[in-house]
Amino acid sequence: MVIRPLTTDDIAAVVEFSLRAWAPVFDSFRAVLGGPIYEALFPDWRSTQARAVEDVCRDDATAVWVTDRHGRAVGFVAVRVADGEIYMLAVDPAHQRQGIGSALTDFAVDRLREAGVTLAVVGTGGDPGHAPARRTYERAGFTPFTQVQYYRRLDVTGS
């Protein structure tokens, strides 16, 4: 497994596999939140997420690496060293359950440690769709701290 810096040639593949990797997460959000709240929060998640991944890949304040298999990016991690944060991580579904997420997490932690960061942070969801991410981060030694957000759809009448 080779982990190398992201190149601009990798961005389209990273965006594409990230959307496929995160589709089950958004399905989980819909199941947990119900249709009306989900639609209010994520009216077009694919476009929003594609833009977010591309923006992160092009952000000078974010270091991004990819896992390369046969000259193609199949996983990526974005790290904001100044914040001590693993900001985004995704693995192509065709390459999941092969240790790539764990390797990228360990790699990111090592880069943060080398930069002198003394407390690393990574955030993820508490829904069923994020269970694999939670397992990966906990195996890497991260301690979970649960926070809860509540949503309520409001009916607005024109008055």
> What's the 3-state SS for the chain?
CEEEECCHHHHHHHHHHHHHHHHHHHHHHHHHHCHHHHHHHCCCHHHHHHHHHHHHHHCCCCEEEEEEECCEEEEEEEEEHHHCEEEEEEECHHHCCCCHHHHHHHHHHHHHHHCCCCCCEECCCCCHHHHHHHHHHHHCCCCCCCCCCCCCCCCCCCC
| The domain made up of 2-139 is a member of CATH 2.40.30.10 | no
Whole-angstrom CA distances from 155 to 103, 143, 150 are 46, 39, 16
pLDDT in tens, 124-144: 988 888 989 999 999 999 999
Average pLDDT, the chain: 94
Q: Is the per-residue pLDDT at 105 higher than 60?
A: yes
Average of per-residue pLDDT across 81-91: 97
Q: Per-domain residue ranges for the chain?
A: 2-139
Neighbours of 37 (CB within 10 A): 15
* Residues in Cβ contact with 131 at an 8 Å cutoff, skipping those fewer than 6 apart: none
- Share above pLDDT 90 across residues of the chain, in percent, rounded to a whole number: 86
* Res. 40 pLDDT band, cuts 50 70 90: very high
Residue 159 has pLDDT above 80, yes or no: no
Please check whether residue 89 is in contact with residue 101, taking contact to mean a CB–CB distance below 8 angstroms: yes
- pLDDT at site 127: 86
69 confidence band (pLDDT: 50, 70, 90): very high
